[in-house]
């Protein structure tokens, strides 16, 4: 079988990592890249680098990876959809709900496969966590809490911390629980002198009643990436920086200490850190998109998933501005499995 011919749009700080993976991905050949600023990281060394989309399409593509600034996703993505080019779109799908709807509709109307690059879906710790939730290890789930903090990344200039970082947590929470957001309350802060928010504290609710809590910021010297799920039988803690998963079970040993015996809550039980295979998430993400194009199972975030994350992010931003809990209004577009 001939290798799939891939084109990469964007050779910046994230695009260079896509280029690295595409150059070594089995069954795929990176045949061209597009970046009006050229190949400043030499990520596409030896591969044609063009400055406009028409020139990239003339090279001949089987699919494209869109890793340019978020505000360019809609114009470039709709052109790719019209040209019949399957596309893996870096998250978020777009910078606002209307753009996200139009982009999703363009691929749906053209019947062109596409997906959104939510890399956390391929983090080994979260994959194992989701499998254990599906197996009922925690029983009924009460809450999902995430922390995603660190210094400001200079590569981000067109959106704030909600659309760039918090959408990871909004998507992974909906994914691991297999549900959607219904409402969100939020507060934001601007501490770094930029026009966009750089700190978010959000409290949400899912369709099954699960409560969510998200702490996201660009103002911390400590980089954190944790997801804590609490349920009937204990908690599962995923650290996606180290790809570790730990289970803290509710205690089953009867206490003999009278002062504690009267407490009617849970007690500390066994703690288990699981040994899990650890594949690089970006490689797994690209393998999944390649496999989808070859007719195998669809494991990437769909455009419907990407649209929901944008809607939840927009609701968070609105809630931070009006001070009220804001509904996450579901889309009316029938995207099917797009």
* DSSP 8-class letter at 301: B
Residue 282 has, within 13 A of its CA and on its CB side, a CA count of: 16
Both tokens of 120, joined, read 């956390």
Return the pLDDT at 149: 96
Distance between CA 319 and CA 60 in Å, rounded?
45
Closest CA to 187 of 221, 210, 217, 150: 217
> Nearest to residue 5, comparing CAs of 81, 67, 80, 60?
60
d(CA 137, CA 122): 21
Q: Which residues are within 8 A (CB) of 281 and not within 5 positions of it... i.e. 6 or more apart?
A: 119, 120, 122, 123, 124
Count H helices and E strands in the chain, helices first: 10, 15
pTM, rounded to two decimals: 0.91
The token pair that represents 243 in the structure block: 């790809």
pLDDT for the residue numbered 220: 95
Residue 222, token pair as written in the block: 């400590």
The rounded distance, in Å, linking the Cα atoms of 307 and 285 is 19
* Of 198, 240, 239, the residue nearest 220 (C-alpha): 198
CA distances (Å), origin 24, targets 30, 85, 266 = 9, 21, 49
Tens-of-pLDDT digits for all 338 residues of the chain?
Answer: 689 999 999 999 899 999 999 999 999 999 999 999 999 999 998 899 999 999 999 999 999 999 999 999 999 999 999 999 999 999 999 999 999 999 999 999 999 999 999 999 999 999 999 999 999 999 999 999 999 999 987 666 667 899 989 999 999 999 999 999 999 999 999 888 788 899 999 999 999 999 999 999 999 999 999 999 999 999 999 999 999 999 999 987 665 555 555 555 677 889 999 999 999 999 999 999 999 999 998 899 999 999 999 999 999 999 999 999 999 987 655 444 44
Q: Report pLDDT for 329.
A: 84
- Bond before 92 cis per omega within 30 degrees: yes
Encode burial over 165-192: b for 16+ CB neighbours within 10 A, e otherwise: bbbbbbbbbbbbbeebbbbbbbebeeee
State residue 47's pLDDT score: 95
- The 10 Å CB-count burial string (b at 16+, else e) for 130-155 is bebbeeebbeebeebbbbbbbeeeee
The whole-number pLDDT of residue 336 equals: 45
């Amino acid at each position: 079988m001939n290798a799939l011919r891939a084109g990469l749009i964007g050779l910046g700080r994230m695009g260079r990592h896509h280029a690295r993976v595409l150059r070594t991905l089995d069954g795929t050949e990176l045949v061209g890249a597009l970046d009006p600023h050229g190949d400043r990281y030499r990520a596409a060394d030896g591969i044609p680098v063009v400055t406009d989309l028409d020139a990239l399409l003339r090279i001949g593509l089987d699919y494209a990876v869109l890793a340019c600034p978020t505000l360019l996703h809609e114009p470039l993505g709709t052109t790719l959809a019209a040209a019949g080019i399957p596309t893996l779109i870096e998250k978020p799908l777009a910078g606002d709900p209307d753009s996200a709807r139009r982009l999703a509709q363009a691929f749906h109307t053209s019947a062109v496969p596409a997906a959104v690059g939510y890399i956390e879906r391929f983090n080994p710790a979260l994959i194992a966590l989701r499998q254990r939730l599906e197996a009922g290890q925690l029983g009924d789930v009460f809450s999902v809490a995430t922390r995603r903090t660190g210094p400001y990344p200079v590569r981000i200039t067109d959106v704030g911390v909600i659309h760039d970082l918090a959408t990871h947590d909004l998507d992974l929470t909906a994914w691991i629980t297999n549900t959607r957001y219904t409402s969100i309350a939020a507060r934001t802060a601007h501490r770094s002198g930029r026009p966009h928010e750089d700190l978010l504290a959000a409290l949400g609710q899912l369709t099954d009643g699960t409560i969510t809590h998200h702490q996201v910021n660009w103002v911390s010297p400590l980089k954190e990436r944790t997801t804590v799920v609490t349920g009937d039988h204990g908690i599962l803690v995923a650290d996606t920086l180290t790809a570790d998963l730990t289970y803290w079970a509710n205690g089953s040993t009867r206490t003999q200490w009278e002062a504690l015996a009267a407490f009617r809550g849970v007690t500390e039980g066994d703690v288990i850190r699981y040994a899990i295979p650890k594949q690089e998430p970006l490689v797994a993400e690209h393998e999944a998109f390649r496999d989808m194009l070859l007719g195998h199972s669809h494991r990437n975030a769909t455009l419907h998933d990407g649209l929901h994350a944008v809607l939840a992010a927009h609701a968070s931003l609105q809630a931070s501005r009006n001070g009220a809990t804001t509904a996450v209004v579901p889309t009316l577009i029938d995207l099917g499995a797009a």
